Structure 1
Amino acid sequence: MNRFYAIGLLALFAIIATSANAASVNVCEGVSDNIFIADVTNCSNYYYCNNGQAIAQQCRDSLYFNAASQSCVATSSGCLTCDKDVLNSTALIKTCNKYVLCFAGTPVLQQCADNLQYNPNLRACDLPRNVDCAADRCSIYQDPQNIVYVPSVSACNKYFICMNGLPQNQSCVSGLYFSSDCNCCDLPANVNCTISKSSSRSVSLQTAAMIAPRMVDIKCPIEGINFLAHRNPNQYFMCVNGKGALMTCAASLYFDKEVGACRRLEDIQKKH
């Protein structure tokens, strides 16, 4: 993009206050107890989640934290690396609504707005029914006498059972819905499930390549993380320490300049 053209456009855009940076995102918000979350800035550090609070921890003996195994290991193969020449994002393991944007070599922790979930296939925040994530509910330290059941957000007859720290897909027999009251399958009349067939999981025509962020030559604040609105309501600019990128929301989502995130139109229109 031509620099002068970009600057001319920015005269029409509103500069949004900073931002969702690593310091403002609580990695343990909405995450069950006894789950460990990686510190994206240091591979030897991690967080222990307890009552929604992130308690800083550190691996000993020069070990590295591996989020997939939820343990400290000798190899750094599971560590996050951000290529300075590549702009992309990746899920923050053991969370459903948080992700890491690798921005010109800098890891930037981000959180989806509302109850949206990060879609690893699109590499963007998406409607929960298109993701149906339950990873943030399953700890490896589970009580065999207290099985954890997680209802699906895409279908009334589906649910998850946590096993060895991972959610296992389950389905009720035909005609029954999963009930959180009894952690069992029951008659639909006895289950308060509001997921309609029209709102169930759908195949998106979008791909990660179609909405992939790309670096653009725009005038950005020299320091910090800032968001700039775009004339296309489905897009926005993101600035990190003077460098800018054009970002695109997933289908059915629009950029909210007040929140600095992609949201449903009905959520944007709600009175605060």
Structure 2
Amino acid sequence: MNFAAVSQATGLSENGALTAATAAADNVMATFFIALLLVLPGWKLLTRFIPSAIIEAEEEHHAHEDEEEKPALDMGALALLLFLSAACCFAGFEVAALLGIPKFGVLFVTIAALLIANFFPRQMARLHGGFDLGMFFMYVFFGVIGAAADVVLMVETALPIFGFVVIMASVHLAVVLAGAKLFRIDLAEALVISNAVAVGPATAAAMAAGRRWRALVTPGVMLGVLGYAVANFAGVALAQWLG
């Protein structure tokens, strides 16, 4: 759910103190929840309970990573990749704004990146260092999320809200893991799904990239955007129903 959009639609944004308290609780909980999702793949008991071929492949790749010869970083390639990334971001958010759906900008950014990768596969294959560049910005992104988590403000003004958010996140994660076990969904897929639904598409993509689950980056973005589309309307409708 897009907190800013729903708070405006429901009138919550008119109450500055409540909005700040809710945002503080949301940011702090999101930080802890993302950290938990990043830690869970290393919990052997959980991976035995919910098997994951993706996590096993990641561990196998990591074990032999030092043996692989990595191409030297090409500054020209990095500059071009950075330019293409900026161009995708600009084009994606501009298209979303022109269509009147600016909150879905990340979806159009993803589409732009996919178009470039699929229309120019040979040229993109020659550009080395893209994953390393992405990892760098992923760490910056998580750092920004952590910096935005105002724990002091949350403790002073939003402890009840934080408790409610903790309960929601706990139930959500329990249901996701139970569903993954019941329907035999890969644990890595379940964790990315959880991130996309509970936090958003950007963090889901960053988590998948950070864990080297490259095949889950795009699905994480798509599912997160779909969650925005559905949950925003559901949240507003629920607020109207509860009065």
**Where on the TM-score scale, by shorter chain, does this alignment land: which range?**
under 0.3
Q: Which gives a bigger RCO, structure 1 or 2 (Cα 8 Å, sep 6+)?
A: 2
TM-score w.r.t. length of structure 1: 0.21
Task: Identify, as 1 or 2, the structure richer in strand.
Answer: 1
TM-score w.r.t. length of structure 2: 0.23
